[in-house]
């Protein structure tokens, strides 16, 4: 079968360029570009699955993984339980793989199409060597390929591997094969099976024992092709007593048609290891009338597999026409810790069904959930969470706080918590609130010369402060600005 694949492609090649310096920012609205792309046929078939694998020159174990996933996906029923309303997705018209068109293999950044470089510069991600952001290494992914990964040599000096996943399959197969698909199985859900079959690119990170990663790691995802899907896959492994911080950003152009984003993220924290994963998600959310925008269906999960390990998720969700996303933790190791801090803002006709799952397996495990949902305009914002403490997870504890804020008279907020405690030696605390911006608050601020939109921004910023405090400083500042930008024109 591998020989059959080799005959299908490789008319043009692509090689990751070595980029030394890059500034990370992910908070600008998308815009259209006329970059010429090389694309596969549309649709999702076994031939296309094999074509993607061959194009990336993947080892046989990856191809086998893809084909198993495809066979599972075609037999699965489409999920209909989420609190979302939208037209069915036409998978026969989706472009699963797209890349900038190159006339030859790239050997340096100077050979990358100037339009691509200009696109990243407009997004606040300049790739020029004269630009430098201290203490952040970035993998920039354009459609289905990585344009460049910074500071790779510096990280390797301390044993940290940070590279595109497609390269990790080739250069570090012994590490990747052990953990790939171990946290999110192929058949976990409909979209994880889809991603497992046609995933295109993503980032891989391995932090060796006892190493505190000297740089924050970051990946910037850009969907640029119309009627396309981006199916990235991220795998982060923190070995014993190691520590790493990962930042994720994303944008897409403004198209009248919907695009699909179905990603999988897997985190593995071994004994006494710590992973901090932060996301500021700003996919195109559609226009004020609800036309266009990204369908964002993501599976993110981490496993605290060792004693005292810790995983912390912090996310700010403002984009996407639809969002279906539940970052979760499996607390397997005794005394391990899982945390989830989230802000989800919906405006106009956006719909978000987000939340988290905390599953306590080990003894004396702890989890904390802080979720803030803001609904504006005609939007619908749903929190869906699960806390489960197994019978043998003695002495475990959870604290959950789910707050919703309504702005305007047409927005909606829903909360679906699910708590199940399997023993009498654990503690669970849960609190939830739903409130709206009151006229008295706005009147109080207006008497001090503060306009309506600025007043709303102040109230929302204060509502989200606890989550923003958990973000890295540069993300926290920009996240606050992003919320203000998304609220513009949303207050009647």
pLDDT in tens, the chain (492 residues): 333 323 332 332 323 332 223 223 333 344 444 444 455 788 899 999 999 898 889 999 999 999 999 999 999 999 888 888 888 888 888 888 776 554 444 444 444 445 444 544 544 444 443 334 446 777 767 666 666 677 888 899 999 999 999 999 999 999 999 999 999 999 999 999 999 999 988 899 999 999 999 988 888 776 666 666 788 899 999 999 999 999 887 765 566 677 888 999 999 999 999 999 988 877 777 777 878 888 999 999 999 999 999 999 998 888 788 999 999 999 999 999 999 999 888 888 999 999 999 999 999 999 999 999 988 888 999 999 999 999 999 999 999 999 998 887 888 999 999 999 999 999 999 998 888 877 777 787 888 888 877 887 778 778 878 887 777 666 666 676 667 766 665 554
Q: 58: closest CA among 18, 9, 92? A: 9
Instruction: State residue 254's pLDDT score.
Output: 61
Instruction: State residue 107's pLDDT score.
Output: 41
Instruction: State residue 142's pLDDT score.
Output: 66
Instruction: State residue 452's pLDDT score.
Output: 78
Q: Cα torsion for 121, 285, 469, 220, to the nearest 10°?
A: -40
Q: Quick one: how far is CA 217 from the chain centroid?
A: 14
What is residue 463's three-state secondary structure? helix
End-to-end CA distance of the chain: 60
Contact 166, 172 (CB under 8 A): no
Phi, psi of 376 (to 5 degrees): -130, 155
| Residue extents of the structural domains in the chain | 28-325
**In whole angstroms, how large is the CA radius of gyration of the chain?**
22
Model pTM score: 0.84
Q: Report d(CA 488, CA 376) in Å as an integer.
A: 10
């Amino acid at each position: 079968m591998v020989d059959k694949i080799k005959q299908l492609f490789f008319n043009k090649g692509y090689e990751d360029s070595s980029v030394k310096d890059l500034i990370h920012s992910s908070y600008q609205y998308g815009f259209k570009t006329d970059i010429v792309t090389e694309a596969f046929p549309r649709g999702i078939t076994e031939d296309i699955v094999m074509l993607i694998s061959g194009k990336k020159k993947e080892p046989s174990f990856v191809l086998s993984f893809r084909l198993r996933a495809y066979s599972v996906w075609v037999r699965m029923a489409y999920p209909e339980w989420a609190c979302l309303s939208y037209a069915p997705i036409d998978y026969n018209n989706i472009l699963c793989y797209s890349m900038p068109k190159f006339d030859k293999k790239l050997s340096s950044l100077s050979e990358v199409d100037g339009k691509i470089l200009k696109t990243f510069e407009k997004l606040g991600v300049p790739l020029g060597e004269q630009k430098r952001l201290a203490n952040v290494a970035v993998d920039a992914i354009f459609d289905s390929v990585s344009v460049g990964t910074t500071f790779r040599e510096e990280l390797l000096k301390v044993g940290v591997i940070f590279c595109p996943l497609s390269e990790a399959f080739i250069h570090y197969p012994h590490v990747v094969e052990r953990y790939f698909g171990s946290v999110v199985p192929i058949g976990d859900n409909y979209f994880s099976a889809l991603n497992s079959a046609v995933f295109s690119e993503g980032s891989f990170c391995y932090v060796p024992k006892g190493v505190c990663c000297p740089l924050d790691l970051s990946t910037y995802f850009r969907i640029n092709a119309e009627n396309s899907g981006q199916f990235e896959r991220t795998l982060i492994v923190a070995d014993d007593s190691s520590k790493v911080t990962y930042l994720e950003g994303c944008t897409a152009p403004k198209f009248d048609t919907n695009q699909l984003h179905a990603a999988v993220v897997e985190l593995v924290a071994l004994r006494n290891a710590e992973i901090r994963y932060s996301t500021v998600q700003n996919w195109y959310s559609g226009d004020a009338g609800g036309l266009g925008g990204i369908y964002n269906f993501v599976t993110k999960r981490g496993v605290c597999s060792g004693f005292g390990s810790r995983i912390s998720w912090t996310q700010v969700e403002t984009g996407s026409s639809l969002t279906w996303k539940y970052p979760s933790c499996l607390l397997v190791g005794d005394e391990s810790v899982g945390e989830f801090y989230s802000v989800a803002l919906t405006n106009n006709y956006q719909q978000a069904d987000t939340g988290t799952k905390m599953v306590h397996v080990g003894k004396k495990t702890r989890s904390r959930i802080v979720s803030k949902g803001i609904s504006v305009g005609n939007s619908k914002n749903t929190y869906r969470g699960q806390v489960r403490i197994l019978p043998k997870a003695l002495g475990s504890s959870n604290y959950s706080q789910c707050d919703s804020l309504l702005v305007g008279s047409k927005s909606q907020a829903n909360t679906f918590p699910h708590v199940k405690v399997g023993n009498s030696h654990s503690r669970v605390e849960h609190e939830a609130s739903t409130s709206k911006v009151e006229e008295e608050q706005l009147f109080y601020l207006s008497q001090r010369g503060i306009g309506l939109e600025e007043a709303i921004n102040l109230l929302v910023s204060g509502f989200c402060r606890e989550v923003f405090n958990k973000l890295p400083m540069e993300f926290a500042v920009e996240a606050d600005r992003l919320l203000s930008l998304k609220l513009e024109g949303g207050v009647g």
